A and B are shown apart, each in its own frame.
Chain A
Amino acid sequence: MTQPAEAGVAAPSMPPIAITPAAAMKELSELIQKIVQGTQRLAEYTDEDLAIATSPADEIYREDMIRLYRYRPVGHKSRGIAVFIVYALVGRYQMIDLEPDRSFVRKLLAEGLDVYMVDWGHPTRAQRWLTIDDYVSGYLDACVDIIRERQGIDKINLIGICQGGVFTTCYSALFPEKVRNLTLMVAPLDFHGDAGKPEPGSGYMNLWARALTSEDIDLLVDTIGSSPGPMVGFAFLMMNPIGNLTKYSIDLIDILDDDRKLLNFLRMERWIADRPSSPGEVVRQWFKDLYQGNKLIKNQLELGGRQVDLHRITMPVLNIFAQGDVVIPNACSRGVGACFGTDDYTELGVPGGHIGTFVGAKAQNILVPTIVDWLVARARGG
């Protein structure tokens, strides 16, 4: 757009369009040139170029489709603090280690932390009956016990991300004797925090879920069983349909001549496309008890017949939210300190969106140093 403000160029009642045929053809020619060169560039990329989650890690436990990994330390720095990262079921853990220079995991390792992570794997149809309690009191508890035993400690430091934040919150309430510190990242806690105050383009999952009836959720789970990964992925993409159309078209052209940006884009696409299925009974409870009933924050959630009472979370809590998060609106993540039993509650807002928290440079500069400082101050042998 130009601002020549020449008299008589465009009358206010007319569209201020001053595109000459020659300029349009020149622009088209340049775009085609970019596309051709970009296509050639694409063809040169190998599988290795596009690899994600490349930080070396060793599998130390497996049960059904889940795997517990311990990342290999980098460098000689060691703080003697172990953290256990619990990611969401709806995406793969690779997001926390997307690229070497945009890796949350590598930054934690570089700070001398001992990092464990659970890969929830790809549940199949056989796992459709798994409940949230199976994940929390089953798999998660088994992993925690393994880490406690390996590290020779009673309590561990949990880092729960998004849906994993809900799982670790539930775990900390049910097994407070095993948790030293709880760090939550972009985690939905008050599922109705955004009710009545929707922001444009934000919180679609909450809105969609609340627009459904309880019978709709039953129909969904009874009919589909486990929610297939591509279906879940499609729902995420439909939160921003026009944005996705331009992402794969005119916005894509903008990055074709930038090798780094193009690789970032392709690696992110790899992650986006690799959505696991969500077990049916988890979906049923997630939608009915959380999205619709908002039972977690009300201390009404029951797992395996036990009440999840947030007052039992007496360990220190660090709650990190993304200021530009449109997947989990800020109102669903922040301002929940009074709901926990702890008197050591810290809240931190980082710049960027839901995923940008883990791959954005601005967020990364704040995130890892804050977590490390916070943990070091509360280490006490953890």
Chain B
Amino acid sequence: MTSGQELLYEFWLKAIPAFFGAMMPVSPTVRGAPSSADQSEVPAQLPFPVDQIGHSLRLMNTTLRQLYQAYLPLLQQDRLTSEALQAIAGSSSGAWIKALAGRGDSQAASENPLLTGMERTYGALADAFGLGPTRELNEAWREVMVTAVAKQGAQAEYLAIVLEAWRKGTASLFAQLSHIGARGERVDSLLALIRLWARAVDAAMHEAMQSEQGLQATARVLRAALRHRQQLQKAVGLASEALNMPTRAEVDQAYREIQELKRELRRLKRATQRPVQSHKTGETIT
């Protein structure tokens, strides 16, 4: 199990309470913040992926309790109406929009007028004293911040599409409920209602993500994230050079040369050793 794989699970495990929390008719403080685990605790050091799936179950244990408890007052007062469901969906949208805020703060930080002014005023002087690399590094970090803001902007744009899909999915849920009612059928389980909601959002999400707007937003997120990473690498490269350490580009170049030599070696081997001799190692996999 690598740290990358752990991160992969972490993403979904974090998303679970947020997703079901958005269907919860309670204050936003409860949403997406289930408390710690309870009696369904799984001991540590279990074979992969038992630990991760156990974690998922613990989250569900907490999330479902909160979800049902949140719906209970509405059910007790017979108030689970269209308006109430609309309100749940609406307030969850509000919480998501809140999460998208904060873009302005980062932007302000990256465009710090003091840093820019200092650079313009004293930059040439610093160069004269042999501090060029430091200035270059500062400039690179500024670029890192600019690309970070651009990345955040692209992510916000992407999330806005997700949010709109959520809204459409919820609207589709109401349409489905209306059809169910018209057929004289009833939803008599909260879990069934949640499943209907998830299915409706799923369909809307696919529609949004496969749309031209969704595809372009996805491309912009990737592009922005890569540019940000590129700038980070540039800054790290400058720092490495200043410290007389091999840069990423230098290591890559070395690997490239090794790969070219391997190709050449293979060509020579093929030319001199046909047919190829078997290299039996005798190792066994089971």
Residues of chain B contacted by A146 (CB below 8 angstroms): 276, 278-279
Which stretch (B48-56, B91-99, B102-110, B115-123) binds chain A? B48-56
Among B15, B65, B186, B283, the residue within 8 A (CB) of A16 is B186
Give, as a whole number of angstroms, the nearest-CB distance from A220 to chain B: 6
Residues of A within 8 A of B233 (CB): 223
> A56–B286 Cα gap in the complex (Å)?
4
Residues of A within 8 A of B12 (CB): 237, 244-245, 248
Inside 8 A of A1's CB, which chain B residues have their CB?
180, 185-189, 192
Structural contact, A56 and B285, CB atoms closer than 8 A: yes
- Residues of chain A with a CB closer than 8 A to B223's CB: 212, 216, 219
Q: For residue A233, which residue of chain B has the nearest CB?
A: B8
Q: Is A3's CB under 8 angstroms from B185's CB?
A: yes
Q: Is the interface of B mostly helix, strand, loop or mixed?
A: helix
In the docked arrangement, what's the CA distance between A15 and B75, Å? 13
Distance, CA A229 to CA B8, complexed state (A)? 10
> CB < 8 Å: which of A21, A43, A47 contacts B54?
A43
Asked if B53 and A224 make an inter-chain contact with CB atoms under 8 angstroms apart, the answer reads no
**Contact at B64–A42, with CB atoms within 8 Å?**
no
Contact between chains at B230 and A273 (CB < 8 Å): no
Q: Which residues of B contact A18 (CB under 8 A)?
A: 186-188
16 A-B interface contacts by CB (under 8 A): A1-B188, A4-B186, A9-B184, A16-B185, A35-B64, A43-B43, A56-B285, A60-B278, A129-B256, A149-B277, A212-B219, A219-B223, A223-B226, A230-B7, A249-B63, A253-B60
15 new A-B contacts, CB < 8 A, other than A19-B193, A24-B71, are: A12-B182, A32-B40, A36-B61, A46-B47, A57-B286, A58-B285, A60-B281, A128-B252, A204-B209, A222-B230, A230-B4, A234-B8, A242-B198, A246-B198, A253-B60
Query: Which residue numbers of B lie inside 8 Å of A, CB to CB?
Result: 1-2, 4-5, 7-9, 11-13, 15-16, 19-20, 39-43, 46-50, 52-54, 56-61, 63-65, 68, 71-72, 75-76, 80-82, 85, 174, 177-178, 180-195, 198, 201-203, 205-207, 209-210, 215-216, 218-219, 222-223, 226-227, 229-230, 233, 251-252, 255-256, 258-260, 262-263, 266, 275-286
